[in-house]
Structure 1
Amino acid sequence: MKRTTAIACLSSLLITAGCSDNLSGSDGPPDPNDEKQASAEVVKQFAAAWVAAWAPEGKPDAAGALTDNPTVFTKRLDDVDSALVASTVKVEPQGEPECADDTNCTQDLAVEAELRGIGPMKWTSTATATKVGDAWKIKASGDTIYPGLGDANYLKRVRALPARASILDRNGVALTANRPVVIVGVASGNVATAATYAAFTKNLDVDGAKLAARAKAAPAGQFVDAITIRAEEWEKLRPTMGKLPGLLTMGGTQSLPPTSSFARSVLGTMRTATAETLKNAGPTASAQDQVGTTGLQYAFQQQLAGTPGGTVTLRDGKTKMTIEVVHSQKGTAGKPVKTTLDLKLQTAAEAALATSKLPASLVAVQASTGQILAAANGPTATSYNRAFQGHYAPGSTFKVVTSAALLGSGQTAATSLPCTNTITVFGKSFKNYDGLAAYGAGTMQKAFNESCNTAFISQHGRLPKDAMTKAAAMFGIGPELNLSIPAYGGAVPAPKDDVAEAASMIGQGTVTASPLGVAMIGATVAHGTAMKPVLVPGKDASGPAASPLPAATVGALRTFMRTTVTGGTASVLAGNGAVAAKTGTAEVVQNGKVVTNGWMVGYRGDVAFAVIVEGGESGSKAAGPILKNFLGRFK
C-alpha cells in the first residue's frame, strides 16, 4: 500500500503550488499503482455492470468478467436475480475503499432491488477487490451479492397475495366474490397431442393451434396456461379431457360474479396478466397474477387487488433450512368498489334478456340521480358492453327529443301534424313503419302515440338548423360521458341539409346514441332535468347534465309517454303500473341490406329504462315483451 504520497506532497510545498494524490472520485484517470483508486474504479465498474445485469433483458456476463472467477460468478449473479425476480436494481458504492495492503481492498455497496410483484428490498453487501497480476478484480463470492450467501447458501422469496376485494351493489351486497377456479393448460414442448389441442378448441373455445405454438416455444418443464374456468365447469369436462396427453390443471380462486354471464360486460373479466393488463395492474403485479381485463375489474384493478406481501429468506445450501428471514413486507388488503347497481334490478334485467333470441341490451337508471341501477347484455354472455358503448340510430325513441324541440318552438300538444303515407324532402322520400296506416289530420300527441314519421318530418322547416342538436343536449345526448368504464355519449351533429334534418327528427341519419344514452332520455322526462349517469359514486361525475326542461315541455312529454302506453304503440306495457314509454324502430344497413332494430324507452316512478333488440322487427314486438318481463319482476 502506498503511504509516501502525503509525505512527498508535504515536503514539496516549499517548491510547488499544489499536490494531489488523485484519489477515487477526483478528476483524471485512476492511478493503476494506487490501490484505493484502482479498487474504487473496479468496484464502480462492477456496480454499473450489476445494474445492467438485472435490468429487463439484461445479462450478467459483463459483471462476471470483472471478477476473479467469471464462470462461477456469472451464474451466481443470474441465479440470485431469478430467485428474487428482480425487475431492476440500484447499486451504489459507499464511501472510500478500505485497503488491508497493496492488493486487497473492500468497499460497501448499497443495493436496492425492485422485486417484481412485491416491491423494493434494500441491503448492504461488501465488494472485495483483489489485484490479480496487473489487473484489479472483484472477488467472486456470494457475499458480494448478499451477505451470508457464501459459496452454497441461497435466497428464496415467497409472495403472498391478499384476497381480492369485491365489487358491491348500491346496498353493499357483493356482486363478485373469490370462487374456486381451475386453470387449464398443457405441458411445454411436444407432450400434448393433436387430440389434446382439438379438445381445447371444441370444449373450451381456445384456439388449439395457437396454444400448440405457445407450448412448443415455451421452456422445458413449464406449465402453459390456456384458460381459467369455474371449478364446477371443469368437473363437467374432466371425464372427457382429464386424461388427455399433456393436459395440466392448477387450482385457485378468482374474483367472479355468481354466474359466468351475470353483468359480465360491466363487472368485467379476469385472466392471467398480459403485457397490457400487467402495465395497468401496477408495479406490484406479477405476470402470473389473475388481473382484471375488462370492465370494472380492469378499471379498478389496483384498488381491488391491494398490494401483495412477501418474504425473502436466506437458506442453507445443504439442508435447505432457513437461516434467517432477511426481508419481509406486509401486504395490504384490496378495497371494495361500491357501484350504483341494484342486485335485484340487475337480476331482473338479466332474466328478461334471457328471453330474447336476438342480441339485446337493457339499461335502467334512477331518474332523479342518474345512477345506473342495471346494465345487461344478452341473451348470451359477452364482454362487449353494447349497453354503454353501442353506437345506434335511436329511431323513434328520439321523437321524445323532437317533441321537446317543437314544443320549445311554440307548438303545443294540440298542434296539427298531418300523418301521410310518405313525405318527400328535397327528393328524399320518407315513410312510416310498416304497421302504421296514414290517418291524415291529427295532433302532435297523436303523432307521438302512433309514432308517425311523416307527421314529425312535416315540421322540419319550422325549426332552426341546430334545433335538434340543442334539444338533444337538454337530454344529456352529445357530451362525452366520463364514466369509470367506457361509455358513449351519443352524437346529434348539426344537419348539413334539409334531408339530414328530416332524418334526425326521427332518430335516423347521423343521430346515434347508446342504450344508456336513450335511457337517460326517459330519465330526463321523469325527473325534468337531465342528470349525468353515474356507475361508481365518487369516481364518476354527478349532478345535472343540462338546465331543467321547461315545465310545460315536461308536462306534455309525460302525458305523451303515458298515453303511448294506455292507447298507443307501447300498449304491451299496460297493466304494469303507471308506466310511460315510447317505442322506436330504427333502420340500419348491414352487409348491404336494410334491417331494423327494435327500441323502447320509458320510466315507472323513479326508474327509467331503455331496451334495444338488434334485428328486432319493431319496438313494440321485440323490445316490448322484454321490458314487460323486466317490469314484472320488481315493484
Structure 2
Amino acid sequence: MTLSYPRPHRPNHARRLATAVSTALLAAGVLVGCSGDDGPQRTVDAFLAGWRSGDLQSVGMIDPLGSKLPSADVAREIKDLSGELAATPPTLTRRGEPKITKDIATTTVQVEWTLPGQTRWAYDREVRLAHGGDDQWQVIWEPTVVHERLAKGDRLALRRDTGARAAVLDNAGQPLVTPRPVVRVGVQPNGVADIKKLVKDLDAAFKAIRPALVPGVDLTDLPNRVAEAEPGAFVEVVSLREEAYRQIKPRIYDLPGTKFISDKIDLAPTREFARALLGTVDPAQADDIAAHPDRYVVGDLVGHGGLQGRYDERLRGGPGLTVVVER
C-alpha cells in the first residue's frame, strides 16, 4: 500500500461535505471545549507531548470499547506503527479547541513528519476522548490516530523510487530499450533460517542457469545486508527476465526466506542484443556504491558498460521517496 505526499488539496465537494457534517453536529448540540484546566484540551496536549517523547504515563488511555489500556503499551505501539519514521517523531499541532458531544470530545491534529532530504509530509488526524466517571478525560486509542490506513501490526516504511530511465533510441527515433517484465528476487530477513546455507543454495542455482540469461550474481555482501535490514524488509538480490526466472524458479522458490516481486525494467530485446554497444542496466553493486556513495544506494539501477554506462548520469532518473504501509 502506497501513501503519496504532499497531500493534495481537497476537492470542493469534500469541503462541502465537511461543512455539512459540521452543521449537523452543531445542530445536535456540539459544544466547544472550555479553556479551563478540566477541559479535554489539557489531556489532548499531554497526549501529543507524550507521543513525541514516548512517555504517556500522565495520560489515561482506553480502547474504542472503553477498556483501560496501559500507557506504556500505547507508547510502544505508536513507535512500532511509526516504523522507519520512528527515529524522527512528527510535529503535532492541535487545530482549535476540542468539540464536545455528551461524553465524547473530538479534536483535529496536524501530523507533520520530516522525511530524508528535509521533505515534509503532513496530514490531519482526529483524536477522540471520553469523559470518565472520575471526571477525567481519556484518549480513545486506535492505530488510525497515527494514520488513517494503519491497523494493529502495520508499520510505516520509506521506499526510494528511481525515476524513469531515459530511452536509448535507434536512428529512426525508436527505443532500443523498452520496459520488459522481470521478477525481482529478494530475501526477507525474518524468514531466513540459515543465511550461510541460503547463500550457498542461491549461488548454486544462479550458476546452473545459462550465463546468457543470468548475469554473475555477487552474493558476498548478502549476509551483511540481511543482518542490517529490518526483519520484514525485502533485501533485493537480483532482477531476472521472466524467461530466466522460469528456469531458476524450481531451485529457489521454496528456499526459506526468499521473496519475489513482479516488475518491469527497461531492457533490450535479449540480454545479448547489442550488448557491447548498449551496455546493461543492473541493480547497484557494492563497488558502484563504494565508488559513488553520494549517488547510489542498494536497489538503484546503474548503467554498466556501453552507452548505458557512459551516459548513466544523463539517462538515470532522479530518485524520489514514497511512504508505504507494510503489513
Alignment-mate amino acid for residue 123 of structure 1: D
Change (3 A) 1:41 1:183: same
Alignment-mate amino acid for residue 44 of structure 1: D
Which residue among 55, 64, 67 is the counterpart of 1:62? 55
Normalised to the residue count of structure 1, the TM-score between the two structures is 0.30
Are residues 1:190 and 2:202 paired?
Answer: no
Distance 2:155 2:235 in 1: 26
The residue aligned with 1:293 is 302
Which residue among 241, 253, 258 is the counterpart of 2:264? 253
The residue aligned with 2:47 is 46
Change (3 A) 1:248 1:141: closer
**Structure holding more strand per residue:** 2
Alignment-mate amino acid for residue 190 of structure 1: A
Helix, strand or coil for the counterpart of 2:93? strand
The residue aligned with 2:109 is 109
CA deviation profile, 1:131-172 (whole Å, cap 9, x unmatched): 7979865343456446798x98x9999x9x999464143642
Helix, strand or coil for the counterpart of 2:55? helix
> 1:183 touches 1:250 (CA, 8 Å); kept in 2?
yes
Helix, strand or coil for the counterpart of 1:47? helix
CA deviation profile, 1:519-547 (whole Å, cap 9, x unmatched): xxxxxxxxxxxxxxxxxxxxxxxxxxxxx
Distance 2:320 2:227 in 1: 35
1:418-437 pair list within 5 angstroms:
none
How many corresponding residue pairs? Answer: 257
1:7-26 pair list within 5 angstroms:
none
> 2:205 touches 2:248 (CA, 8 Å); kept in 1?
no
> 1:125 touches 1:147 (CA, 8 Å); kept in 2?
no
| 1:258 Cα deviation from its structure 2 partner | 3.9
CA deviation profile, 1:500-528 (whole Å, cap 9, x unmatched): xxxxxxxxxxxxxxxxxxxxxxxxxxxxx
Are residues 1:227 and 2:232 paired?
Answer: no
Change (3 A) 1:279 1:135: farther
The residue aligned with 1:354 is none
Change (3 A) 1:80 1:227: same
Alignment-mate amino acid for residue 255 of structure 1: D
Alignment-mate amino acid for residue 45 of structure 2: K
| 1:254 Cα deviation from its structure 2 partner | 1.1
Change (3 A) 1:238 1:109: closer
Change (3 A) 1:78 1:114: same
Are residues 1:35 and 2:38 paired?
Answer: yes
Change (3 A) 1:85 1:49: closer
Q: Which runs of 5+ in 1 are unaligned?
A: 1-22, 25-32, 54-60, 282-286, 313-635
Distance 2:263 2:280 in 1: 19
Alignment-mate amino acid for residue 55 of structure 2: A
Helix, strand or coil for the counterpart of 1:77? helix
Helix, strand or coil for the counterpart of 2:221? helix
CA deviation profile, 1:460-514 (whole Å, cap 9, x unmatched): xxxxxxxxxxxxxxxxxxxxxxxxxxxxxxxxxxxxxxxxxxxxxxxxxxxxxxx
Are residues 1:176 and 2:177 paired?
Answer: yes
| 1:89 Cα deviation from its structure 2 partner | 4.1
- Please provide the CA RMSD for this pair: 5.7
Distance 2:277 2:114 in 1: 35
> 2:165 touches 2:317 (CA, 8 Å); kept in 1?
no
The residue aligned with 1:564 is none
Distance 1:263 1:67 in 2: 65
Alignment-mate amino acid for residue 271 of structure 1: P
Distance 1:280 1:44 in 2: 42
Q: Percent identity?
A: 19
Q: Which runs of 5+ in 2 are unaligned?
A: 1-33, 62-68, 209-214, 304-308
| 1:63 Cα deviation from its structure 2 partner | 5.1
> 2:115 touches 2:121 (CA, 8 Å); kept in 1?
yes
> 1:126 touches 1:147 (CA, 8 Å); kept in 2?
no
> 1:164 touches 1:306 (CA, 8 Å); kept in 2?
no
The residue aligned with 1:211 is 222
Distance 1:256 1:71 in 2: 51
| 1:113 Cα deviation from its structure 2 partner | 5.6
| 1:174 Cα deviation from its structure 2 partner | 0.8
The residue aligned with 1:92 is 93
Normalised to the residue count of structure 2, the TM-score between the two structures is 0.51
Which residue among 281, 284, 294 is the counterpart of 1:269? 281
The structure with the larger Rg is 1
CA deviation profile, 1:420-440 (whole Å, cap 9, x unmatched): xxxxxxxxxxxxxxxxxxxxx
Change (3 A) 1:88 1:148: closer
| 1:96 Cα deviation from its structure 2 partner | 3.0
| 1:99 Cα deviation from its structure 2 partner | 6.1
Helix, strand or coil for the counterpart of 2:107? strand
Distance 1:82 1:35 in 2: 34
CA deviation profile, 1:301-356 (whole Å, cap 9, x unmatched): 446x8998x999xxxxxxxxxxxxxxxxxxxxxxxxxxxxxxxxxxxxxxxxxxxx
Alignment-mate amino acid for residue 110 of structure 1: Q
Q: Which of 1 and 2 has higher RCO (CA within 8 Å, sep 6+)?
A: 2
1:583-594 pair list within 5 angstroms:
none
| 1:229 Cα deviation from its structure 2 partner | 2.8
Distance 2:177 2:248 in 1: 24
Change (3 A) 1:42 1:230: same
Alignment-mate amino acid for residue 37 of structure 2: D
Alignment-mate amino acid for residue 193 of structure 2: N
> 1:67 touches 1:140 (CA, 8 Å); kept in 2?
no
Change (3 A) 1:62 1:260: farther
> 1:184 touches 1:225 (CA, 8 Å); kept in 2?
yes
Distance 1:267 1:85 in 2: 41
> 1:128 touches 1:138 (CA, 8 Å); kept in 2?
yes
Distance 2:223 2:149 in 1: 44
CA deviation profile, 1:194-253 (whole Å, cap 9, x unmatched): 6415426856644445324444665656654312233334455557x4477435544322
Distance 1:306 1:213 in 2: 25
> 2:50 touches 2:56 (CA, 8 Å); kept in 1?
yes
Helix, strand or coil for the counterpart of 1:184? strand
> 2:188 touches 2:232 (CA, 8 Å); kept in 1?
yes
Distance 2:254 2:148 in 1: 48
